[in-house]
Structure 1
Amino acid sequence: MSGTGETTWVPRKRRGAELVLTVMAVGLAIFAYCAVGLGAEGRVPAGAVGLAVTLVVVAVAANLLIRRFAPYADPVLLPLVLCLNGLGLAMIYRIDLGMEARRDSWTSLAPNQLMWTGIGVAAFATVLLVVRDHRRLQTLTYSFGLAAVVLLILPLLPGIGQNIRGARIWINLGPFSFQPGEAAKICLAIFFAGYLAEKREALALAGRRVLGVDLPRARDLGPIMIGWLVSIGILVLQRDLGSSLLFFGLFVVLLFIATERAGWIVVGGGLFALGTWFGYLQFSHVRRRFEAWQDPFGDPDQNGQIINALYGLAHGGLLGRGWGQGSPELTPIGYSDFIATSLGEELGLTGLMAILLIYGLIVERGLRIALTCRDAFGKLLAAGLAISMAIQVFVVVGGVTHLIPLTGLTTPFLSQGGSSIVMNWAIIAILLRISDQTRRPAPPVQPVSEDEATQVVKL
């Protein structure tokens, strides 16, 4: 209540609701981990207590951090992410057990994933502590653009670049491998948001009207042509169709949001179709992906991954085999690129749809943050980060379920991999920072005395 008798609405912080949802998410992850041990070995895993303590400490620390440094942030994002991360840990542990039973030597991946989860939460905390106001990122728009280009070039450098499964998208950092494209995704989102917030009025001007669609002016096609060339360059040099689709799709959708011109979608879609057709004609690895999509059983030796994945989904059926009762270890790299089909085998179509619903809720909360944000840069950045996750999930799940050609991206928060976990936790931190800034009440206006008002009038 203000001094003039007017009521000032103050949004609720909802940290208590966040804590309750966080406890439920951690409980679900611990239950899944124990269920894997009971289903596969008939006993509770020996490391269940240690995992439970670690997850509880991580969850409580994250909740306390948000209470202190982002008290008005969205209360749903953290529990959703913890739930996905915990389910991913349980699934990777399940594949560890299956591989240990079938092979004499197998290095367990679950402890490594738990370590990267801790590093991801540390990155989450660092972003919240360092970025106190998301609008300051706009002052570094072109610096982030340059950083994105450097990150994308790193895998191409001799000595540190590494070719894995036909795609040159990794670099070696001592005993670890890192995928710079995951960090470049954040840098590009900041660059695109900053650039479009500044240039949206010029880009919104329509040129000619063709078939009922207002196309942009020819002079304004420069940015989208550069984005197209960068995406095609990634496809050509790194042989990574998934990242090419992700980066270019992010730019085109943000162009549409910034300008509200459907012509950008038409032009962008046409350019990507042209680039894909060029890649199909010129590069054998792209052609093999399309041929495997059209007829995976035509070459069983070459397409064993997608065939095993489809058999695994069929084996799971509607309700799944149950934790520890399927055979997800039969699918090559079922802990990474194909973890969605591994979960579909154990949890069935019902469980897989529930996981996709969690992703949908994360994207919805991100878009809600974008809608309520008061500044153009924050709107575009929140929308870009949410849409990038939506595109990535669609590309990954669509590829492994045979809806679209296989690409090779990781499933956020579920797949085994350090760079993916760390960078996706950083994305959530940025979204929480924007939502805190958006929902935070404006500082109260101090009343001006009659003497001060008289002095102002005299001046």
Structure 2
Amino acid sequence: MTTQPQPAVTVLPPLPTRRNAELLLLGFATLITTVALLIVEANQEQALSWDLASYTLAYIALFGGAHLTIRRFAPYADPLLLPVVALLNGLGLVMIHRLDLAANDVTTGPMNGPSANQQMLWTLVGVIAFSLVVVFLRDHRMLARYGYLCGAAGLVLLAIPAVLPRSISEQNGAKIWIRLPGFSIQPAEFSKILLLVFFAAVLVAKRNVFTSAGKHVLGMDLPRPRDLAPLLAAWIISVGVMVFEKDLGTSLLLYASFLILVYIATDRFSWVVIGLALFAAGSVAAYYIFDHVRLRVQTWLDPFADPDGAGYQMVQSLFSFATGGIFGTGLGNGQPGTVPAASTDFIIAAVGEELGLVGLAAVLMLYTIVVIRGLRTAIAVRDSFGKLLAAGLASTLAIQLFIVVGGVTKLIPLTGLTTPWMSYGGSSLLANYVLLAILIRISHSARRPLTKPSNNTPIAAASTEVIERV
């Protein structure tokens, strides 16, 4: 009886986790943040204080702990995401500290700006939330099971400010807050994540509805009228936010994110065309019906028509960019306190003034790295839900950054969105760290090696599984 020769099996070496590279990049981010703080102190002729050392020590402790959490619970996660976000958070902390010094300068007058100490406290809360999500969300596919629950929770959070009294929900004309004694929250920051989970889960489960063939018009396959219900529902929600909460930024962010997910899931440009046409029609109608929408658009078209009133914030922002020029005035040498809400909505204007076009381009490049790595994660992960969710999270960051920078630079009408991880605000920091944790989890699933197949698994099947995973 002859024995059949067994096929040779090549044992691949274990894939590197790249955690040491992440640690090295975190050290580089810490160095940049510390040097930036020292430059601000030197140019403001401030003596070295314990507050400065406490910022650095707290920064090291927070992101060192986040690194250890990833090393233990998501060792194959993307090594660039956390260091880049840590650097963005550090630069935001530097600019807020700079604005605190401007507020204390009697030559510029008083300014009701937030404190870098509060921002560091919110960073602590955000990193703790990040760590908890990384630890307890062992598999991102668990979120798909609660897709409809996430959608309902997101809608509730989005609608709460609209039904609350103006005294506890409205600021600067937008009803987007929940203000309680000693505590305030912006629920739209959390609803965007919940609704993205809902959109991804629905698109995976109902893909046949969105890919159903309809009429062929002008080279596009238009969907059937009865299949437009999800798109119309998203349109009604976004227009409702624009009308009742007077929040153009969140309205545009949610609707654009939904359209991108639909396009990724169906690969049909007709959905995008129909969606943009619906949003344009709703925006034009809102312009003629509602005064706050018309005021935003008129201020965008000509802020110098009322430079001391409605256009004051935009005018000061444009002056800040003009003062910064190519290389900026230098950290601590500008006058960023002249722009209202410089630490929240207009922190990009402060960066443009003191770091110039070169520094602002570097900051935007950091955001681009996060978006690209998120999209690469979407390509690499195996399951459809993970692909849509990772692509949606990365696209939402890109859209939000475009809306913020476009509004501050007068490219589009001004909105109330904040710059992720840089602007002051507890809701924004907390929500964006949760978003980052979900991306980390998905990237870990995409990059981790497959478990060793059992002895009964055919080699051809195992090879196919490896190819699909890669």
TM-score in terms of structure 2 length: 0.93
Deviation at 1:107, TM superposition (A): 6.3
> In structure 2, how many angstroms separate the alpha carbons of the residues matched to 1:217 and 1:9?
51
Asked whether 1:158 is paired with 2:160, we answer no
Alignment of 1:310-325 (within 5 A): 310-325=318-333
2:116 maps to 110
Alignment of 1:168-207 (within 5 A): 168-207=175-214
1:124 maps to 130
**Which residue identity does 1:111 align to in structure 2?**
N
**Which residue identity does 1:187 align to in structure 2?**
L
Over the residues paired in the alignment, what is the CA RMSD in angstroms?
Answer: 1.6
Cα gap change, 1:210 to 1:428, in 2 (>3 Å): same
Contact 2:111 2:337 (8 Å CA) reproduced: no
Deviation at 1:161, TM superposition (A): 4.3
> In structure 1, how many angstroms separate the alpha carbons of the residues matched to 2:324 and 2:414?
21
Cα gap change, 1:90 to 1:381, in 2 (>3 Å): same
Classify the secondary structure of the residue corresponding to 1:404: coil
1:140 maps to 146
Deviation at 1:245, TM superposition (A): 0.2
Cα gap change, 1:407 to 1:104, in 2 (>3 Å): closer
Contact 1:37 1:45 (8 Å CA) reproduced: no
1:18 maps to 22
Deviation at 1:108, TM superposition (A): 4.9
Match of 1:6 among 6, 10, 14: 10
Alignment of 1:298-447 (within 5 A): 298-300=305-307, 301-447=309-455
**Which residue identity does 2:95 align to in structure 1?**
M
1:228 maps to 235
- What does the per-residue CA deviation read over 1:391-418, in whole Å, with 9 as the maximum and x for residues that have no partner? 0000000000011110110000011100
Match of 1:284 among 268, 273, 291: 291
**Which residue identity does 1:304 align to in structure 2?**
Y
Classify the secondary structure of the residue corresponding to 2:222: strand
- What does the per-residue CA deviation read over 1:75-126, in whole Å, with 9 as the maximum and x for residues that have no partner? 0000000000000000011111111113468565111000000000001011
**Which residue identity does 2:31 align to in structure 1?**
G
Deviation at 1:164, TM superposition (A): 0.3
- How many residue pairs match? The answer is 448
Contiguous gaps of at least 5 residues in structure 2:
1-5, 458-470
Which range moved further: 220-229 or 31-40?
A: 31-40
Q: How many percent of aligned residue pairs carry the same amino acid?
A: 46
Asked whether 1:50 is paired with 2:69, we answer no
Contiguous gaps of at least 5 residues in structure 1:
450-459
1:36 maps to 40
TM-score in terms of structure 1 length: 0.95
> In structure 2, how many angstroms separate the alpha carbons of the residues matched to 1:8 and 1:186?
38
Deviation at 1:9, TM superposition (A): 5.8
> In structure 1, how many angstroms separate the alpha carbons of the residues matched to 2:162 and 2:203?
29
**Which residue identity does 2:11 align to in structure 1?**
T
2:88 maps to 84
**Which residue identity does 1:94 align to in structure 2?**
R
Contact 1:328 1:334 (8 Å CA) reproduced: yes
Which range moved further: 288-297 or 253-262?
A: 288-297
Deviation at 1:170, TM superposition (A): 0.4
1:74 maps to 78
Cα gap change, 1:45 to 1:319, in 2 (>3 Å): farther
Deviation at 1:44, TM superposition (A): 3.5
> In structure 2, how many angstroms separate the alpha carbons of the residues matched to 1:445 and 1:289?
60
